[in-house]
Amino acid sequence: MSEARETILTLKDVETHFPIKKGVFKRTAGHVKAVDGISLEVYRGETLALVGESGCGKTTLGKSILQLVKPTGGKIIYNDKATERDLCRLSQKEMMEVNRKLQIVFQDPQSSLNPAFTVFGSLQDPLKTHGIKSKAERRKIIGDLLESVNMRREQMDLYPHEFSGGQRQRIGIARALSIEPDLIVCDEAVSALDVSIQAQVLKLLKDIKKERNLTYIFITHDLSVVEYISDRVAVMYLGKIVELAEVEDLYASTMHPYTKALLSAIPVADLDRRKKRILLEGDVPSPVNPPSGCPFHPRCNQCQDICKKVIPSLKKFETNGYEHYSACHFAEEQLSQ
Amino acid sequence: MNGTKKKITRLEKKFDRILMREDTGLIKKKKGSRAFRKLMSNRLAVAGIIIVSVILLAAVFAPLICRYDPLKLDLRNKLQKPSIVHLLGTDQLGRDIFARIVYGGRVSILVGMGSALTSAVVGVAIGAYTGYKGGLLDNIMLRLSEIVMAFPQIILVLLLVTIMGQGLRNLIIIFTLTGWGGIYRMTRAQMLSLREEEYVQALRAFGLNSFAIAYKHMLPNAVGPIVVNITLSTAMFILYEAALSFLGLGVPLNISTWGNIVNIAQDLRYLQFFWWLWVPGAIVISLFVLGVNFIGDGLRDSADPMQQG
């Protein structure tokens, strides 16, 4: 990695809380803290993986970045080389311009395409709103897009139910690419596909990234996918980032017990090398009333008194010459284990 | 294994025959949409289509099939029993009942379909947008529809008729005002489930405006239940018109409608001794409503892709 990296997206204390309404008068009884104070920088041209188990707020964070879900606090600053803009405070018109540059690929290939329209029908409207007026031109662009995701031009006149899951996911990618974005949020983009198709789509994503100089935020719960595609990894737990590092660095010198547990869960295709499995007990605690102190302490096998009282902040360390962030009171002790 | 031939089952024979016919080109690719074919293979729906279209055609070409003017009084021949001269007899003023029913169909069907269509337009237009957008506007419209629907519809209609006066146009307006709630709520419910679909989120990520998303992209996915609802409410409004006319508050009595024809049965004398004055009208109302309901049911089944037909 080069030294002077240009940030494309800066998140500062982003919070997305959902109110829980109760009773006849819709009194707010509490908040689901889906994303709870995340600060993060995304560099131009990298792939940042967001990992974590179900319900930890990965998808909400992805949608908050695109303003599909309005964040309740914090700043999301987007740098398009010329200007820096806070996405949370943009007017609708300004957001339209930014929408050209930020796109999303969804998880479920079943529901990500409109069943009532042909592929051309669903893909042409975004192009129309972004200023491509002639139909012939739109047909050409969509045809080119389909070819770039290894599909045939003529397939634009078919309906979604005529495609397989992998094909539909590739159409979803083509749609995200259609207005030439800088940054794509891939929200579990391959989780719903079977393994052989996963590999195909991942390779496609990688090739496209190289070709078009894209930045990915890759949301996933599958750590073997992370290893293949990403440059940096942010591990999330209960709406917070607990560890952030370069991918090799994270695998080599893990600095958070939660990440350790996640890594130990990757199956290894080697019968002789038995890995020690760290089993996490219980579920993710409710994001309505997060535990006091470190959110991970009820499930942590190295929990001490301080963990129950003090919330650990995301501290910067240096391992193997890389920046490495960890939110554990005993981050350095983790290294020696 | 030991040389015995595998027994060919009946099913396999049948399959072989189908394959053979396919090879020789006897089976052609089925034409028309799947939903249409499914509707056509539903016997009740086809019966409904036949009944409804016969009545519709009769109403449209009324002058060609009626020998008499439905408004012409003939007091010398009043209360005639059905005969060759007057197919269904004459009423208390000597008007030909067959002609009255055929011409009355024009008004009744117009009121029924017109009210169903206008209330569908109003309900869908409001429901699609507010259902997608949510928020304050959605809340206001929801409460408004609840207020309208909380009144017994017939009482509200009676009230409005006395305020606005009788007449064909007023009736359609009143039926629309009191009847948009049902289809609005159904459209809204459809939109609520559709707006969580990922393609809607994707369109939002492109910055498309809400009108385009709601009306152009989401509405086509909700159209099946809406069409069914329109046919069913057509039947309902025809019954309402009949009920109102029966009470004497519908279309003015000098215009013949199905309701006005049945209206005569209020008089016990006619009800008991002159059955041909009201029985044919009642039968036609029932047949038409039944036919429309059959079509509605058939449409609902054929629009449901999960159901095999």
> What span, in angstroms and rounded, lies between the C-alpha atoms of A67 and A185?
12
| Integer angstrom CA distances of residue B246 from A192, B37, B212 | 61, 40, 45
Contact A114/B217, CB-based, under 8 Å?
A: yes
pLDDT in tens, B77-117: 777 788 887 788 788 788 888 888 999 889 889 989 899 99
> What span, in angstroms and rounded, lies between the C-alpha atoms of A184 and A149?
15
Who's near A128: CB < 8 A, 6+ residues apart? A138
pTM of the model: 0.78
> What span, in angstroms and rounded, lies between the C-alpha atoms of B32 and B303?
14
ipTM for the assembly: 0.84
Mean pLDDT to the nearest integer, A279-300: 82
DSSP H helical segments within B134-167, as ranges? 135-150, 153-164
Mean pLDDT to the nearest integer, B248-256: 80
Q: Tell me the one-letter amino acid at B69.
A: D
Instruction: For residue B231, give how far its alpha carbon lies from the nearest alpha carbon of chain A (Å).
Output: 22
Orientation of helix B135-150 relative to helix B97-133, angle to 10°: 150
**Predicted local distance difference test score (pLDDT) of residue B30:** 60
CA atoms within 13 A on the CB side of A238: 20
Using pLDDT thresholds of 50, 70 and 90, give the confidence band for residue B305: low
Answer yes or no: is A5 within a domain. no
CB-defined contacts A:B, below 8 A: 62
Is the backbone of residue B280 left (phi > 0), alpha (psi -120 to 50) or beta? alpha
Q: Structurally, how many domains does chain A consist of?
A: 1
Answer yes or no: is A264 within a domain. yes
Q: Measured between CB atoms, does B61 come within 8 Å of chain A?
A: no
| Greatest extent of chain A over all pairs of C-alpha atoms, in Å | 68
pLDDT in tens, A24-78: 777 777 888 888 888 989 999 899 999 988 888 888 999 999 888 889 988 899 9
Answer yes or no: is A288 within a domain. yes
Map out the domains of chain B with their CATH numbers.
34-303 (1.10.3720.10)
pLDDT at A142 over 90: yes
Answer yes or no: is A309 within a domain. yes
A94, A95, A111: best mutation site toward chain B, by most B Cβ within 10 Å?
Answer: A111
Of A95, A122, A125, the CB nearest to B212: A125
| Integer angstrom CA distances of residue A215 from A9, A205, A209, B172 | 10, 11, 7, 58
pLDDT in tens, B31-44: 667 778 888 888 99
Answer yes or no: is A81 within a domain. no
CA atoms within 13 A on the CB side of B176: 18
Range of the domain at A317: 256-337
Answer yes or no: is A304 within a domain. yes
Q: Kindly list the residues of chain A whose beta carbon comes within 8 Å of any beta carbon in chain B.
A: 63, 66, 68, 92, 95-96, 99, 102-104, 106-108, 111-117, 122, 125-126, 129-130, 172, 175-176, 179
Q: Tell me the one-letter amino acid at A148.
A: S
Contact A104/B201, CB-based, under 8 Å?
A: yes
What is the number of residues in chain A? 337
Orientation of helix B153-164 relative to helix B223-246, angle to 10°: 60
Answer yes or no: is A312 within a domain. yes
pLDDT in tens, B254-271: 788 888 888 777 788 888
Answer yes or no: is A207 within a domain. no
